[in-house]
Amino acid sequence: MSTRKADYPIDEIFLNRWSPRAFKKEVVKEELLMSILEAARWAPSGSNKQPWRFILATTEEDKATFDQFIMDGNLTWCRNAPVYALLISDTEASPSHKFDAGAAWGYLALQAHKNGLATHAMGGIYKDKAKEILHIPDQYEVQICIAIGYQDDKNTLDETLRERETPSGRNSLDSMVMYGKFE
């Protein structure tokens, strides 16, 4: 059970989902993977354009290709994750393509948690290199790479990462909600 506490009533899934770095090398079954992508498919989007796309790496060969554009700080822990998903969005589909892709990521992360999987979004990637290596057309913008798999014990990580392997807190609502004008 999470040590996080909400100030107002919300579903426990929001408190219990977090982004661990310790992953088991255990294979994620195709049906389970498609279930979390199905959840992402149902995310809201501006004018229902659904501008997000996922490029998956599920084999060691494909993961080695992705490793070429994942920054070293993330490679130290993400290599055990059995699946990488690169989230891209169609810049021509909608002015809100980034926002919509973020909603898809959120739906994916929540369904993954519900399915017993862990996810960790990585902004630490070389986006231009990803576009080049994966032959992504110019109209698509690279957003994040997501490690997907089963959470492992934090003791599998090096000491520095082990210390960080805990759910993080959140800023207060007072720090982010304003009424009537920006304050």
Q: Report the CATH number at residue 114.
A: 3.40.109.10
Identify the domain containing residue 26 by its residue range.
Answer: 18-153
Confidence tier at 3 by pLDDT (50, 70, 90): confident
Total domains in the chain come to 1
* Residue 162 placed within a domain: no
Distance in angstroms (rounded) separating the CA atoms of residues 180 and 171: 21
13 in a domain, yes or no?
no
Residue 128 lies in a domain: yes
* Share of the chain residues as helix, strand and coil, in percent rounded to the nearest 5: 40, 20, 45
Please state the rounded mean pLDDT for residues 126-131: 98
* Structural domain contains residue 183: no
If DSSP states are collapsed to H, E and C, what string results for 65-118? HHHCCECHHHHHHHCCCCEEEEEEEECCCCCCHHHHHHHHHHHHHHHHHHCCCE
For position 75, what pLDDT does the model report?
Answer: 96
13-66 pLDDT, tens digit each: 999 999 999 999 999 999 999 999 999 999 999 999 999 999 999 999 999 999
What are the pLDDT digits (tens) for 83-113? 999 999 999 999 999 999 999 999 999 999 9
Q: What's the CA gap between 46 and 48, in Å, rounded?
A: 5
pLDDT at 70 over 60: yes
Is 175 within a domain? Answer: no
- 2 band by pLDDT with thresholds 50, 70 and 90: low
For residue 161, the model assigns a pLDDT of 93
User: Distances from the Cα of 150 to the Cαs of 93, 116, 120, in angstroms?
Assistant: 34, 7, 11
pTM comes to 0.95
34 — phi, psi (to 5°)? -65, -30
